[in-house]
Each structure stands twice: as structure tokens, then as C-alpha cells.
A and B are shown apart, each in its own frame.
Chain A
Amino acid sequence: MGSMLRGIFSVGFGYSMLRVTTPILFAALGAVVSERAGVVNIGLEGIMLISGVSGVLFSAWTGSAWLGLLGALLMSILFALFMGYFHIKLGTDIILAGIALNVIASGGTVFVLYVASGDRGISSSLASKVMPTISLPVISKIPVLGPIVSGHNVLTYFALLAVIAVWYFMYKTPVGLRLRAVGESPDSAASVGISVERMRFLALGISGLLAGFGGAHLSMGYVSWFSRDMTAGRGFIGLAASALGGVHPIGTAIASLFFGFADALSNYMQSLSIPSEFVQMIPYLATLFGLGIFARQQMAKSQKGKKQAKEVA
């Protein structure tokens, strides 16, 4: 037990927690934006894969990590809108459209990688670039905190900034307000002249952009290559984190850290006798309980009227 605690409180643990949280956090923020506009984005997983492979290819071709990132983000937005087109314009169920996108991405990324480089399933021959790591001035000198917070990939800082940016966008800008109104009550929004379709396209585009950052982090930061299905469910974890975080950027950031914590912890557990599987299970169980409790509250809310009514009677 002592060694476990020492593990958790070690500097290395804090650092790796932030590192593994990064892609989850991006995906989760993507889930928040689309969900708030009334579109469940199951396709996050696929968008991240598309972004991952695009980042590797574009950075290898251009020799620039930043251009690679740009290419990855553009492709992510494009595919998010592609899925949106089928849902919003052609009436495909959004869940099925998301699943279709995931299927396309899972095989399509491997296929494109092979066509482009001859690599089968893993981009070993491509000289792709990695986004730079950043040593924070001043902060890096602070003992304990410095080594945890400093020296991360630039995308990790982007992720933290994205939390604030998404929060600001959703809650402090007129467009964010419209987006939330469309998600909660499309009829009311439409009645004051807001285009529900356009807001949903916008939300999916932003959702794609955020997931794109997450995917780019995987292949251009977390590791320096693309491999088949390298997202390993992180898109779905993002959905879970958003559900656990109450579909709010701040809550979702905390939930993502929780998932990252469990993920990092499970690596430390392996050396101990506690099965890592249980540790990794915790965030999902927490989400499940959260969902149950939330649903029960909603039900209680709708029954509140009856109680009041009894008092009146």
C-alpha cells in the first residue's frame, strides 16, 4: 500500500497522468460541444484516427509538424461535416452515421497509409514529425509542480487551453448561447430565426476540430507514429467523460483527468498485487453510477409535481 501511495504521489505519475489525459480531454470536449447542440457524436473515435493518420502523412510530406497538425485538423473537420451531412441533410440516424464513420476510419486509415507509404498498419517508414514539447519558464523551476506541469507536448497545453476556450465559447459568446438553445429546444431557437441545421453543422465542425487535436496528439506527441486503431476507444472514453462531467467543459475536464488518473494508475498497479483491470474499470463504473443517479433525479423531478399537488390537496 505504501509503495502504491508513493507511486501516486511521485512526480512521474503526475506527469504521465496529464499526458494520458490529453487525447481523452480533447475527445471529451468535442463530445460536449456536439451534445450541447443536440447531436451525439459517436464518430469521435473515427475522427481521431483520421486525424492521427493525416498528421503523420502531412507532416512527413511537408517536413513540418505544424503543417501536419493543420492537415490533420482540416481532415477532421471535413469528416465531421461529412457525417453531419448524412445526419442533418439526409436523415441518417446520428448514432448509425457515427458508427459508419468509425468503420470507415478504422479500415480507411490503414488503407490510406498503405497506399501512401506502403506501410502495413504502422507508419514505420514515414519520417513524420512530432509536435514540440515545451518547458514552461519559471514554473519548470518549482519543485514537484514544475516537473509535473512543465515539459509536456504543446498539444497538452492546447488541451488545457481548449477547456477554457470551449467554456468561453459555450457560455460567454452569442453563438455559444444559440448552440445551447438549439440543443435544448430546437423549436424555440427556430422560432426566433436561428437555423438549427447551421448550428448543428457548426457544432459538429468544432467537435471534429477538437477530436482532431486529440488524434494528432496520439500520433504526433504521445508517440511518433500512426498505428492501426491506435485510439483504442479513447473517443468513446471521451463520450463517457462528457457524460460523467455533466456535459460541461469544466466538469468534463475533471472527469477526463479522472479517466487519465485511472489509466496512469493502472500502469503503476501492474507491479503490485492489485489487478490493474479493476483500477481501469473504475471510471466506467463511476460513469455508469453517475448516469443511474442522474436519471433517477430526473425521474424524481418529474414526480415532484405530484407531491406538491398532494400538499395542495
Chain B
Amino acid sequence: MIRRELVFEIGRTLIAIMLALLLGFIIILLVSEEPLEAFQHFVLGPLTTTRRIGNWIEATIPLVLTGLAVSIAFQAGQFNIGAEGQLFFGAVTATIVGISFPLPMYVHVLVALLGAMLGGALVGAISGLMKARWGASELVSSLMLNYVFYRFGLYLINHHFRDPNAGAMVSYRLPETVWLQWIWPPTRVHWGLWVAIVAIIFSYLFIYRTRWGYALRMTGLNKDFAAYAGISVTAVVIYSQVISGAIAGLAGAADVLGLYRRFQWQMLPGYGFDGIIIATLARNHPLGVPIAALFLAYIRSGASIMSRMTDVSSEMVAIIQGIMILLVTAQAFLSKWHHRAVVKEAKRHGLNA
């Protein structure tokens, strides 16, 4: 019965994804003069060259990290819409460590990553504390903090670390000691991949194998029960936001230290919302996150190739993503079918479960 629940959930998610993809194909059919070619680029494009595979993996790295960040908050029953600000500020702190604290190779990159985690955790801690102390909605506070730290981060970069010789509003180039090195030439896949893998393992172990993760999950499932059993709900609310923020901070650092090697965002990059899409598809399970992130990065990468090669623009993929979230999270989607199956099962076993 446990297995059938799991099978049902996975099946439901897959059907939702299929329907969304189907919609994508229909759109291609409607708008394209060369639909077959467009299909082909969209579905197979990302695998055709090493560089393209590389692009896919590069794009996956920050998505895994924000997906994990959001999943942890969701598992604690908290909403984290602030991953956006957390990763932005994490990228800023990583940049500052990179430019201001020259350190030897390896050490420097580790300290910068640590700095990014601290930066993100700080932002998360504010939401967590406001919720725990005063019951202030973490939804509104994290939304506000996105903009506060977006502006504050921009201020730091533009006024203290801006490269006057560069044409755009970007920071100084980062020294090589702080780079996340590229590991698979000619692609730009970088050490951030290891960071992401470590983060997946950490998140999994933390959530399912430690008592703090246990407390976090129980609080998320039923906070009255958690309090009754002696779990400090206040502590869970705070540390879930702090850890979530720290991992989101790493996502920002990964792009800055691994891809651009300087701070160049002038807008919020949108990864925070991507994290919500991924966590939703992965059902907040850390081991589902990389799959969801790979999938999301794949269809985006495919769409971008398709738009370069054919007359279909890549933004079509956004429609697919949105429909996926709507269907996956619609409780009523396929629930009738599920209910019938459960009733059948119950009858067969004659249990009054």
C-alpha cells in the first residue's frame, strides 16, 4: 500500500509532465512551419554535442541548489519565496570574499562558498526569526527581503566593487584562486557540480537521517503534534529557514564563481522561482530534486536550441513549466481515479483502513 501510494504520486507527476509536454508539441505544431525539425531540436538537441551537454549540466547546477533550498523549507511547512534574494545576496558575499580576501588556492574558494552560505542564511534567518518570534508571515517577509537584499547587494557591488573599466555595471574580475574550476573542457561544467552533489547528499541525510531533520519533517506534517511530542517548533522554523537560505546562497555563488567569474547580475535571476518549480516536481524529496532539475534544464536547453535552429522561440518552455506546476499541485487532478483504486484495494483486502 505504501508502494502504491508512491507509484500513484510518481505516475501522477509523470502524467502531468506528459500533458504539459503534449501541450508544448501542439503549440509547436500550430506556430511552426517546420514542426518536425523543431520537435527534433527540442527533444534531442541538448545531447547532440559535448558543448550542448555541457550547457545542460551547467544550467542544472544552480537549479539543484535552489530546488534543495526550497524543498527543505517546504518540508518544514514553511514557504520560501525568498530563495531569490538569498541566492542573490549569497552571490554578492561570495564576490566580496573573492575580491577582498585574497587567500591561497582551494582555501579561497571554500571560504567564498562559506561566505555565500552565510549571506544566504542571514537572509533566511530574518524570515525565520520574524515568523518564530512574532508569527509574521514568512511569505510576505521573504518577498520583501528579496527586494531589500537585491538593492543592498546592488549597492555593495555598484559602489564598492564595480569595475570602472568594464562597459557594464559589473564587479571586478575574480582572482583565479576563487574560481570553481572547469572540469570538462570545452564545456564550462565546473566544481559547482561537486558542490551540488554534496548538497544533495547533505540534504537527504539531514532530512531523513538526523533528529533535526526528523523534527523538521514532523513540524511540517503536523506542528501541533510536533509541539505535543516535545519538539521545539520555534527552533525548527528558524533553522529550516537558515539552512534553506544557506543552500540558496550556494546557488548564487555557483554561477558567479563557476560561470561568470565576476558579479554581473543587475536583475534578480529568477532561480528562486525555478527552485519552487523543481521542489514541486520533486515532491520536496532531495533525491527527486536532481532529476527535476536535470529535466527542467534539459527542456530549457532544448527549447533554446530549437529557437536558434528553427522558427519556434524558446519561451514556449515557460508555458510547459507553468502547466506542469498547475497540474502536479492540483489535488483534484486524477484523484477520482486514485480514490477508486483505493476503494478497490480496500475491498480486496477487506480492511477497514
Interface residues of A (CB under 8 A from B): 40, 86, 89-93, 95-97, 99-111, 114-115, 120, 229, 232-233, 236-237, 239-240, 243, 275, 277-278, 280-281, 284-285, 287-288, 291-292, 294-296, 298-299
Contacts and interface: CB of A to CB of B under 8 A. Distances in A.
B139 A95 contact: yes
10 contacts: A86-B330, A93-B329, A100-B326, A103-B321, A108-B322, A111-B318, A277-B159, A284-B147, A287-B144, A295-B135
Contact of B313 (A89, A111, A232, A277): A111
Nearest to A89: B332
Contact of B319 (A111, A284, A291): A111
B276 interface: yes
A296 B327 CA distance: 37
B318 A106 contact: yes
Contacts of B319: 104, 107-108, 111
Interface stretch (B149-157, B194-202, B339-347): B149-157
Interface in B143-195: 143-148, 151-152, 154-155, 158-159
A296 B318 CA distance: 40
Contacts of B276: 96, 99
Nearest to A237: B147
B273 interface: yes
B331 A284 contact: no
Given A291-B130, A291-B141, A281 B330 contact: no
B277 interface: yes
B316 A107 contact: yes
Contact of B329 (A40, A89, A92, A106): A92
Q: What 7 pairs between A and B have smallest CB-CB spacing?
A: A107-B318, A104-B322, A91-B331, A107-B315, A277-B155, A295-B136, A90-B330
Interface string B292-333: 000000000000000000000111111101110110011111
Nearest to B129: A292
Given A111-B318, A233-B268, 18 more contacts: A86-B326, A90-B330, A90-B333, A92-B326, A99-B273, A99-B277, A103-B277, A114-B313, A120-B313, A240-B143, A240-B147, A277-B155, A280-B151, A281-B147, A284-B144, A291-B136, A295-B130, A295-B134
A277 B151 contact: yes
A277 B154 contact: yes
B151 A278 contact: yes
Interface string B6-39: 0000000000000000000000000100000000
A232 B137 CA distance: 23
A239 B146 CA distance: 13
B120 to A, nearest CB: 18
Given A91-B332, A96-B276, A40 B322 contact: no
Contacts of A278: 151, 155
A89 B332 CA distance: 8
A77 B268 CA distance: 28
B81 interface: yes
Interface string B267-295: 11010010011001000000000000000
B140 interface: yes
B143 A239 contact: yes
Contact of B151 (A90, A105, A281): A281
Contact of A240 (B135, B144, B155): B144
Interface of A is mostly: helix
Contacts of A280: 151
B136 A101 contact: no
B79 interface: yes
Contacts of B147: 233, 236-237, 240, 281, 284
Most A Cβ at <10 Å: residue of B152, B323, B325? B325
A284 B151 contact: yes
A108 B315 contact: yes
Contacts of B143: 236, 239-240
A135 B22 CA distance: 51
A239 B147 CA distance: 13
B15 to A, nearest CB: 14
B233 to A, nearest CB: 15
Contacts of A103: 273, 277, 318, 321-322, 325
Contacts of B158: 275, 277
A104 B31 CA distance: 17
A299 B234 CA distance: 15
Interface in B241-280: 267-268, 270, 273, 276-277, 280
Most B Cβ at <10 Å: residue of A92, A97, A108, A280? A92
Contacts of A291: 130, 136-137, 140-141, 144
Given A93-B329, A96-B329, A115 B31 contact: yes
A20 to B, nearest CB: 15
B135 A299 contact: yes
A169 B155 CA distance: 42
Contacts of B329: 92-93, 96-97, 100
B103 to A, nearest CB: 28
A227 B347 CA distance: 58
B67 to A, nearest CB: 14
Contact of A275 (B136, B155, B325): B155
A264 B145 CA distance: 21
A111 B151 contact: no
Contacts of A299: 134-135
Given A110-B315, A277-B154, A291-B137, A102 B273 contact: yes
Contacts of A284: 144-145, 147-148, 151
A104 B144 CA distance: 23
Contact of A95 (B31, B81, B148): B81
